[in-house]
Structures are given as C-alpha cells and as structure tokens.
Structure 1
C-alpha cells in the first residue's frame, strides 16, 4: 500500500513515466481514474462518483475491509505528504486489534459490501434503500467513494474444497496453490462469496492470512494494463526493513488510535435479508467458474522473437486459434484487446484474430497431407494479417467500438425498431466472443491473471508473455458440456509446442 501511494505521488509530480508506452500523458491521465473514485449503481446504466477535492480527510484515506467491517485510514496528511510506512503499519495493526475486540465481544458485521457483487439493478435498488435509512449511511458511502484505494485483509487462506479458512495449502507456486489464490482474488472465499470486498472500487489490494497478496480490478474506469503497472512498481521496489516497527509482542506502544475511523451502517431486517439473498445469487456464479492459471515454461518470448523471428502476440493468438479448433471442430469470432493510446480519451479497440488467413493455416495444420513448408507459409500470412489488424485497430481503423457506440446511443424508441445491420445473423455471430482474450503485459512479478468468459460456451483468456515463461489465466463454465478449462489448457500447451516445431523446421525471416 505504501508503494502504491508513493507511485501515485511520484506520478503526480511527473517524476516517473512507465516504460510501457512512449506516450506518458496517456498513462498519467488514465492512472488517475483509479484513485478517489467508485462505480455508482443506477437503474439501467451506472455512473462514476464525483472526484473530491484533495483536502477533505476522506480524500486522503484508504478504505480497509476486515471481517466485513469497513474502516478508513488517513495515509496522506493535511500537508499532502504520505505518512511514513511505520505509521501506516501502526494504524493497520490498530484496526486489526479493534476488529478482534469487536469479534470477541460477539459483534458481527452486516456484510453490506456483498451487495456490490450483485446484479447491478438489484444493487442500485438496495443502495437507494440503504441511503434512505440514515444520513450516517450516506456519510459512510461518500467515504468509500472518495477513498484513494481499497485494501482487504482476509482473515482466511483459501483452500479449494475447504469450508473454513484452513491454511493446509498445497506447496507454494504449484498450479493448485496459484489457482486457489486466483479464486480468492476473483470472488472471496467460496463458503461466503463476495464478502470482505467493495467491488465498485477500481483497485483493491487483497491479502490473505498467510501473507499471499494480489489485486482485484473494476474495469470501467480504465484498462487492466494501467493498474498492473502500478502493481508491478509496488512489488519490485526494495523493502526498507528499518522503516517498520519493532515486534508488537515486545513493544507495548505499537498501536496508534488516531488517524483511522470505523465506517458505520444503519441497517434493518430488509438489508440483512438482501445481503443473504445477494450472496445466494452470487454463489452459483462462483461455483460455475472453472478458472486456472497455466504456466507454459517450455519457452517464452525470447525464443519466439529471437529464434523464430515472429511477433509474440500474433504467435500466441495463432495458438489460440489452433487450440479452439482442435477442441471444437469449428471456428469462432475472436476478441483481442488493443489500446488506442494515441488518442486523448481513447480506451480500446478489437483485434479480430479469426481471419481467412488464420482459418487457412488452422485447416492446413489439421491436414497431414499438406507439407510443413506450406503450413509455414500459411502461418506467415496469418501472422502478417494479424499484425496488420493490430496496427489498424490501434490507430482508430477498427469497426467494433464504432458499432458498439452507435448501439449504445440508440434511444428506447429507436431500439424498438433495430436497424437491419444489428439484426443481421452474420453481424450477431461476429459479436459473439467465444474466445475473449487480452495480452496484459510481461508481468514478470505476477503469478497469474484472469477474467471471465463473456459467453457461457466460451473462454476468457488473459495472458502474460514473459521471456522464459508465458502465463495464461483461463476461465470457462463448469456447466457447459462443450468447454473445459483443463482440456483447453492441455490442447493449448500442445499447440504451442507444435508451433515451435513447425517454425523451427522451416525458419523464416523476421516478421
């Protein structure tokens, strides 16, 4: 948390610019949308909370969750200076002690935060009712919205199949342990999904009781690459051990009772029942999610670029095409995110990986009668086509955001008579993203990543292409008989091995 705040301060002072883009202004504008803001539920369409001025205490605080209670901690003083890390540690420990006292006295929090995981119109209705109960709720709600970042201290360590906070974990950095961590970051503990979170905050650091940590992002303010840069900065900085306090067990002055406060809620039986109902609506969604982090360690981007002479992103996208066809026996529209960062207020556009060129190559790979030389030529054509689609989409020459914008601008009356284009079968199929993919970044400090599939019979795939290791966060639905995250992971692994064999057998000039 201290390094995240340091990053924010240094960026505001223009002391650092990330090396992920030559356009530092792009990053400086969008990273600001992660701080002091929340997503606000409204019927039909959400909005963002208004940005506070930098002076009120609520704008100089972070939001902390523990045992479903919310606290705010002042982390920037009235002189706009970040508090020392030792003071931050004291305040965190004081809150942990306060929460422990409340639990020991028999107090239990009404898990208001679980409402933020519910369907948006339900949350909008419950938020309106919650705010009507007492002005105190409005004060707490504003403090949450104005807070800089969120921090969840989970009093458990998630283990798959465990109904309690057992710490009997698989070995560290095994697929089973990483998947367990991903599950908790995604939805909290499966026995009480959605708890100890406020999902409307753009950036929430999450720490489990054994110390493993990650983050959950709310996507609407900015794209995932933006907070990931901040997260990586926070991890790679050296730790100054001398900045921390002595062992609390040997120092009676380790807590600080000022600089933080509880957020209180006035609730009634209706809100309590809605929290229970929201959790029950969330539970089947969580249970249906089949997510897994694949660590492909046979080779990485160094081999793809230097030995094979191919763009790593296009190469990986071709592996997705081959793996999908091998598991499904057909093709599908494929979504890949590209940043349109050369435009001032731009976000993303769609790269359409599935093309006539990628189709021809995949079909050739499935035909043993076609020579490897021909397969390599077809692969080169598919790679070149994908690179061209990427350049076009990044420079505003894509089609999907334009068409989406037109649809979103239609009024209710206009929607009653949808234009022929939006009813066209080919158009609708082309908007059905059964392969939804995104290249996050090298992310050398991350153990994995992930997001959900937008289609019940598809996959959501986020990937981190590193020099010697490619990490894939793959999600599908248990309830779909035609998809399986484990099967797709296995086939994707084989497809990547087959790609290297093809390219090594027929080396080509750099593309």
Structure 2
C-alpha cells in the first residue's frame, strides 16, 4: 500500500500510460505566473515510491487535510471506529489555511511548476511534514460535498456527472499523485480515482469488487445506518495537517488549477448501461464476447465518423512476471470488410455472417498473440527507447509510432463473480471505470460485461473537437450492437 507517483496529470481509472490522457494531451505551459522560477535549479525527475508499511490515511474535507491513524492499541481500527473518525472530521468547524483548499491542484496541473514549487516550499518545516504525511499515506480519501450516482429520473445526465466527478472532480479535491483516491460523496455513493503508472485497471477493479461485496454482505450495517460495533472514545482525534503557503506558492496553485480546469472542462464523458443483451446471448452466437464488442465498436466508429482509424485495445500480459499490457490493434482488414458489408444494403445476411466469423477469429488470434508475448507494440516501444539511447534516427519507427490512437479501448474484466449474486443484488453492481480520450480528435471507450445480461460503457472525447461527440457515439454503439445480434436471428432480451 501507499504507492505514490510524481508524474503528470495521468490516467484516472483504466487509463493508458502517458502524460495527460485524462484530457487527452498536455496543455500549453503556463507563462508569466511561473517566470520567477527561471533562476532556480532544474527540478528532480519524477519517481515512483513504494511505502511498504503505511499506518495512516489522509482525508480531504472542505479544503482541509486530516491525518487519520488506522491502528489503535496495536490493531486495525474496526469499521465503527473508522466511521467515528470520519464523523469527527465532518463535525470539525475549522476553516482552511491560506492556500490549503486548492493545494492538490499542484498534482493536477503541469509537472514543472509543481516540481519547482515542491523544491522551493516543501523541502523543510511544516510543509515537508504535511507533504510527507500525504505521500506516505496508504491512500488518499476525499469526503466530497457533492451528491452523485445513478438516478432513474435522469439516467443520462446523472451517470455522466458521476463519471466526470470520479475522473477529475474539481481538480483540487483529489491528490492525483497517489496510487488512488477513495471518494465518498455526500449521499453515500463511492468511487475511486486511480493513478495508472503503478498498476492497470484490473488491479483496482479487483479491489473494488471486493469492497463492493464485503462492505454490505460481510461487514454490514445496523438498521439506523451506522457500522456494526461500538465507538471508542480513547482513539485520538484526526490531526489537522499544517501548511505555510506564501503568496508566490498560492499563485502557482492557482495557475495549476487553471491549467487543470482547462483540460477537465474539455472532457465530454458519456457513461451508460446497455441492457438489451449481454454475454449470455453473445455466447449463443458462438463467438468471443470481447470480439463481438470490439467489432461493434468498429461498426459504431464507422457509423459515427464515416472512416476507420488505428484502434488500441489493451490486453493483459500477466502470464509473465511483472507483465502489464500489450496492444491489440483491433482495426484489421477483416474487421473493415465486415463493417463495410454491414453498411452495404446489397450484402446478404449470409455474406455478413461469413465476414463476421472471419473478423472475430482474426481478433481472437491477435488477442492470443498479445497475451502470450507475441504482440508488436511493446517490441516497437523497446526499439524506440534503444534508438533514443543510441541517438539513432529511424524513419521506420518515426512513421509507425506517429499515428495517433483515435479509438482507444479497454475491457475491465469481472474477476470475483462468486462474491455475490449479480441477479439478486443488482444494486451492488459497479458500473466499471473509464478514462479520457488519448487523441484530441478521438474517443476513449471502456466497457465491462457484467453478469450475463448487462454491458456498461464509458465513452469520452473532447468538446473542443468538432468531429467527435460522446453521446452520438453511444447512440451509434447501441445501434451497432443491435444490428449485429439481429444477424444471428436474436432480438434484444430474447430467450431464444
């Protein structure tokens, strides 16, 4: 526990490695507000640190930071005792110190101002002690003052708002350098904002499935809503972290917040459940559910943009020690043939089914190659790193690595389905996670096949791009899925 990162405005849940893909690309560097730093030495490079035994968390509430010990009398706090500590923070009437409320914006904006600010103001005294408390905490917790979650009366807007809040919040109420920020909203809904460098989305997904199940089904609550167990008045109160942030530092904080808000406000995020059918019906088509969804994404993209694009699908390589991911380039000649046949009214069902089978088999073949270490993209990346080290210009690498991933996709697999019965407890099903677009003019699509009859999708793009629209893409995706299942003689929600 307690991994932290000193890198860029990075992925949130499920994002690909890179600098600022929450919003797709880095913003331009701030100008005048940081010019006074120019005479200072260059900042140290970003590093990943691993704290092997962290015994506290840091909680953010209404612009204040609190250190909360997780142990008392040599044991972990019990749920009711943790609730007691959270209530003490909620009841604390103190006001934020100067600059404290928006301090975390430093972790959301440009890296150089944060590094230089860290060097100038957080290397000694109370600022160093408080920053150490944050960075050595097991994880970061935000008691968010907003209310989020699915609302039946407003399903579209409520889920979009929920997703965007978890993706970036207000850009100063999540500590983006931490392994993850655990977010509890005012109405009791929860979520995670995960930094991507230390692990991939399935790791956080594995954790979240366990939390969703054990919170209610094992730990449980009393009828009045409190955690089971008793309070303990002997546990020391949470400690307010102390900061001394001069005006120059506060200016950098405001500049970083402006930079981060510019990125966050540009994200068009659409999160929605697809309930017409799920993997149970797809399996009756005798094909891989992932191949089916990936071909639907290709069809949806063609409906949406009228063209094909380089497509990224993440494949896990955890068959190998410390394996992370490989790329499945799921836009193939075979998938294009199938999509064009679906859009050609002269093609028969039989012809389309034949092309679907060829395309799905090609996709499954590529996925198997990626999983077993025979993909090409990590190999190309290694060649790129070596070429930079040797200062060798490679026209081939320059060409092959220059094209952007305008459709970046990822499936978050369910891993612990035995923890609770999905059909009997649908209210405990997570909607999965999402990430921002990788290209300025592209889409980021994440999906999770939940049980047998539900697929949750998350679609992101940029408002600033006139060609993309996340809700329009979602509409085309639903159409594509329905068109494809119809090929097999099935109807939505069919028992056939």
TM-score if structure 1 supplies the norm length? 0.80
Q: Which residue of 2 aligns with 1:217?
A: 194
RMSD of aligned residue pairs (Cα, Å):
2.7
Map Cα deviations across residues 457-506 of structure 1 (whole Å, 9 max, x no partner): 11001101122111110000111111111111111100000000112279
Name 2:407's counterpart in structure 1.
435
Distance in structure 1 (CA, Å) of the matches to 2:319 and 2:69:
36
Higher relative contact order (CA 8 A, sep 6+): 2
Tell me by how many angstroms 1:390 deviates.
0.5
More displaced, 148-157 or 215-224?
148-157
Are residue 491 (structure 1) and residue 476 (structure 2) matched? yes
The residue aligned with 1:241 is 221
The structural deviation recorded for 1:110 is 4.1
Change over 3 Å in CA distance of 1:273–1:158 after alignment to 2 = farther
Over residues 29-83 of structure 1, what are the superposed CA-to-partner deviations in whole Å (9 max), with x where a residue is unaligned?
xxxxxx112102495952112424x3xxxx211121112222121113463x321
Query: Is 1:115 aligned with 2:96?
Result: no
Question: For residues 401-480 of structure 1, what are the structure 2 equivalents within 5 Å?
Answer: 401-411=378-388, 414=391, 417-424=392-399, 426-429=400-403, 432-442=404-414, 445-466=429-450, 467-480=452-465
Please list every run of 5 or more consecutive structure 2 residues that lacks an aligned counterpart in the other structure.
9-42, 416-421, 423-428, 492-496
1:97 and 1:135 mapped to 2: Cα distance? 28
- Rounded to whole Å, the distance in 2 between the matches of 1:405 and 1:76 is 44
Alignment of 1:104-253 (within 5 A): 109-132=100-123, 134-157=124-147, 171=152, 174-188=155-169, 193-237=170-214, 238=217, 239-241=219-221
Give the conservation status (yes or no) of the 8 Å contact 1:69–1:196.
no
Report the counterpart of residue 341 of structure 1 in structure 2: 318
Label 1:46 to 1:402 Cα distance change in 2 as closer, same or farther (>3 A).
farther
Alignment partners' CA distance in 1, 2:431 and 2:322: 31
CA distance in 2, matches of 1:227, 1:246: 26
The reply on whether 1:275 has 2:253 as its aligned counterpart is yes
Q: Flag the structure with higher helix content.
A: 1
Q: What is the aligned partner in structure 1 of residue 266 from structure 2?
A: 288
Secondary structure at 2:132 match in 1: helix
Give me the whole-angstrom Cα distance separating, in 2, the residues matched to 1:141 and 1:223: 26
In 1, the alpha carbon distance for the partners of 2:302 and 2:226 equals 58
Count matched residues. Answer: 439
| 2:91 equivalent in structure 1 | 97
C-alpha deviation, 1:221, in angstroms: 0.3
- Tell me, in whole angstroms, the C-alpha distance in 1 between the residues paired with 2:98 and 2:323: 47
Contact 2:85 2:237 (C-alpha < 8 Å) held by counterparts = yes
2:70 is aligned with 1:70: no
Q: How far is the alpha carbon of 1:93 from its aligned partner? A: 1.2
